[in-house]
Structure 1
Amino acid sequence: MNLWLFFQNQVLGMQWLNALVGKLLTAVGLDTASRLGGSVQFFLYDTIKITVLLLVLIFAISWVQSYFPPERSRRIMGRFHGMGANTVAALLGTVTPFCSCSSIPIFIGFTGAGLPLGVTFSFLISSPMVDLGSLVLLTGVFGIKVAAAYVVLGLVVAVAGGTLIESLHMEKYLEPLAHAGGGVDLDAPTLTTADRLQYAKGQALSTYRKVLPYLLVGVGVGAVIHNWIPQAWVETVLGSGNPFGVLAAVIVGVPMYADIFGTIPVAEALLAKGAQLGTVLSFMMAVTTLSLPSLILLRKVVKPKLLALFIAICVVGIVIVGYLFNALQFVLI
């Protein structure tokens, strides 16, 4: 237990880095107990921590992704049927792109290759909501129990949503563009170990450059919440006293565009100020799964009725997960 806590707090959570940043700021004359000093410490610590974890995680996950190009993923999913296929699609979503917008081209490839519609939607829900990076980062911030529960429930939402869409036979609500991905059947070139490492390096740097603006905004918002927003305000809006906190978090989260790496600092700050666990996690899920730009892209692939069903399934699933986490908060943290 002591070894695991050390790994969680010092390796993933990098609490030593927080102490080091605090000492350096104090050495240059900044009072870290003040609002300004505390904000600067939070911003520097979280930015450096998430940057290090992000680069390492994206490199490792991209190396894994090199073994699962879309055509191979399609062949794997094609071997399964029914809920088993939805489960495999949701699991494959955990080793694919980190944001909802970058998942849609793969979704088009899968639909164009003739995979069942429900299976492709299980992938589309899972890919931005749940990934291996989120498991590691959530462990460092909230602990292993919260991280594991988040991933499991996210997969449940993805499987259930895809299964429901499949049972309703919504294929007629696909736009012609959804059938443009037939080339996914092509065999992938054989990659050497050096090729895979080079690919992982390129993906890590490319993805980091893309998410850096959202990371900085997220950490900045988290720093403001952590040191400038009165705790009573957060508790009133997102605490246990407001039964509609989860709904408010989802409504606020949907118009935003970020990935889980940019939302974690905000969630961390909100939780520290008294927001309920399920409320902040539902906010994270809404931002990563139902961002407005991704819905605009998805509309080019599916007709309004199917898009509305997708949104409704995600919102209901996220709200249920949020209230469930709120109910179990005393057990998880």
Structure 2
Amino acid sequence: MAALLLWGLVYSQLVPFSEWVVSLAHIDPTSQLGEALSFFIYDTPKVLMLLTLVVFGMGVVRSFFSPEKTRALLAGKREGGGNVLAAGLGILTPFCSCSAVPMFIGFVSAGVPLGVTFSFLISAPMVNEVALGLLFGLVGWKVALTYLGFGLFVAIAAGWVIGRLHLENWLEEWVRNIRASAAELPPENVTVIDRIKAGIEAVREIVGKVWPWIIAGIAIGALIHGYVPSDLLASVMGQGAWWSVPAAVLIGIPMYSNAAGIIPVVQALLAKGAALGTVLAFMMSVIALSLPEMIILRKVLSPRLIAVFVGVVGTGILAVGFLFNALFN
């Protein structure tokens, strides 16, 4: 409780702290440099503190789950209900490109249908607790909840479509030959102290790995906030540019980032007048269709199956982008 109170006290002083630092540098806060510097100094501790709080809380929640339990829940589930369950579990379960291969193999070996597996793989990076927590803290609950709904829709629908195509033969042969083995579940007598330790370990593991990407993302956001003219950005990513949504998706795919690193960029783009649907389509493509993740997944998926995956998910992201722009125009 004392740590939470201290967190709140520090968080409440971030605005005056950023103003004080800018004043020390004798920089006009209304200048381009002043606005960029204020954005960077304020958002860096803000995002890191939000991330730490969210990751700790979800680390405790995750102590009730495990990859083995997740596989057991999904194994044998039929399409439809299985896609919904898999997408929901993806919110609570850590997944990134580095864990894509073992998680995918584990699901396949446990008999999880291919479409259900893809619902999980899409949901976990795109609609995870980090993305939702930071969206809520930075751009408000309405955007966060809307993103949650549409993100789950993309994960469920894309997984269902891939499942309906019956593409199991497009897995790499060595993956198809894997035999299911019994999963050893962790002991049930986990104490409160163990769960707190799990939260601390999650902070050490996740925040410790992603903080450079967060700072890089905030730096890009600061440059956008301070130096990119609003009119220029609105002309490229505004509602009036019909081609902005597919362009944003194509730009996002080759990029490598995570939710924590890309959301400060999203915040800066929105502040400059970019269309909400276009920005969220860009964010989804960076998180769910990043080129490095595709390279790693190539170890278990054939090029044809990767192409189907990108095509189906990309279509869903485009639909979300256009729909958001239509709803919030």
TM over 0.5: yes
Contact 1:111 1:181 in 2 (8 A): no
User: CA separation in 2, counterparts of 1:222 and 1:142?
Assistant: 14
Contact 1:223 1:269 in 2 (8 A): yes
Partner residue, 1:269: 268
Further displaced range: 24-33 or 173-182: 173-182
Give me the TM-score of the superposition, normalised by structure 2: 0.91
Deviation of the 1:58 alpha carbon:
0.7
For residue 184 of structure 2, what is the aligned residue in structure 1? 186
Mapping of 1:220-299 within 5 angstroms?
Answer: 220-299=219-298
Q: Relative to structure 1, is the Cα distance of residues 79 and 306 closer, same or farther in structure 2, using a 3 angstrom cutoff?
A: closer
1:70–1:184 contact (8 Å) kept in structure 2? no
Whole-Å separation in 1 of the counterparts to 2:326 and 2:49: 33
Structure 1 position 102, deviation (Å): 2.9
Which letter does structure 2 place at the counterpart of 1:39? A
Q: CA deviation at 1:103?
A: 3.9
Structure 1 residue aligned with 2:4: none
Deviates more, 1:132-141 or 1:38-47: 132-141
Which amino acid in structure 1 is aligned with residue 286 of structure 2?
A: V
1:197 Cα deviation after fit: 1.8
Q: How far apart, CA to CA, are the structure 2 residues paired with 1:155 and 1:24?
A: 41
- In structure 1, the gaps of 5 or more residues are 1-10
Q: Give 1:326's aligned residue.
A: 325
1:140 maps to 137
Shift of residue 199, structure 1, vs aligned partner: 2.1
How far apart, in 2, do the equivalents of 1:207 and 1:128 lie? 13
* Higher mean C-alpha deviation, range 53-62 or range 140-149: 140-149
- The Cα of 1:198 is off from its aligned counterpart by 1.5
The code of the aligned residue for 1:141 comes to L
Return the offset for 1:136: 2.1
Task: Work out which of the residue numbers 31, 34, 37 in structure 1 matches 2:34.
Answer: 37
Give 2:121's aligned residue: 124
Report if aligned partners of 1:108, 1:177 keep a CA contact under 8 Å in 2.
no
- What secondary structure, in the 3-state scheme, does the structure 2 residue paired with 1:72 have? helix
- Is this contact kept in 2: 1:39–1:226, CA < 8 A? yes
Q: Is the 8 A contact 1:58 1:203 kept in 2?
A: yes
Stretches of structure 2 lacking an aligned partner (at least 5 in a row)? 1-7
Q: Deviations over 1:116-167 (max 9, x none)?
A: 1111000000010001222221122222111111011111111111111111
Q: Name the SS of the counterpart of 2:146 in structure 1.
A: helix
Superposition deviation, residue 328 in structure 1 = 1.1
- Residue 207 of structure 1 corresponds to which residue in structure 2? 206
Contact 1:55 1:205 (C-alpha < 8 Å) held by counterparts: no
Would the alpha carbon gap of residues 322 and 15 (structure 1) be closer, same or farther in structure 2, given more than 3 Å must change? farther
What letter matches 1:172 in structure 2? N
Residue 93 (structure 1) aligned with residue 125 (structure 2): no
**1:175 corresponding residue in structure 2:** 172
Say whether 1:83 aligns with 2:80. Answer: yes
2:126 counterpart letter in structure 1: M
Cα deviation, residue 294, structure 1 = 0.4
Other-structure match for 2:299: 300
Aligned residues: 318
Q: Any idea what SS the aligned residue of 1:185 has?
A: coil
**How far off its partner does 1:192 sit?**
2.7
Q: Is residue 315 of structure 2 the alignment partner of residue 316 of structure 1? A: yes
